[in-house]
Amino acid sequence: MYMKNSIKYESRASTRSLLVLLVSLLVLGAVDEARALNLVAHISQRGLHGEISFSQHNERQVLIASELETTLQYPEQAWSWGIYQLPVDYTIVDPQERCQIARLGEQL
């Protein structure tokens, strides 16, 4: 009788260990999938507002999506944008000066 219970206990313990191992592998797999980077830039300046989002598509590609709207404040305004090598230095107050190509580096 003692031996029978011992075998059941060992069987339950190994089943639990296997279950814990499987759950751990699933969680690690899910964490690996959750490592994608998502960045959102909120814009509201000179008649343009909305957001641009950057999402990791795979190891080498980033998906860029935008949801932008114009206001009636600047009806004839034209906008362009690009991705540059260097970040914008927001300690420079004048927007014309801080966005000079020499400060931003090459367009990528």
| Residue spans per domain, the chain | 38-75+82-103
> Of the ranges 24-33, 37-46, 76-85, which one carries the lowest mean pLDDT score?
24-33
6 pLDDT tier (thresholds 50, 70, 90): very low
Q: What is the DSSP string of 1-63?
A: -HHHHHHHHHHHHHHHHHHHHHHHHHHHHHHHHTT--EEEEEEEETTEEEEEEEEE-SSS-EE
Distance CA 48, CA 77 (A): 9
Distance CA 54, CA 3 (A): 61
**3: pLDDT strictly greater than 50:** no
> Of the ranges 19-23, 45-49, 56-60, 73-77, which one carries the lowest mean pLDDT score?
19-23
The H or E element containing residue 65 is: strand 62-70
Distance CA 77, CA 74 (A): 5
**32: pLDDT strictly greater than 80:** no
**58: pLDDT strictly greater than 60:** yes
Enumerate residues 6+ apart whose C-beta is below 8 A from 88: 98, 99, 103, 104
Distance CA 66, CA 51 (A): 6
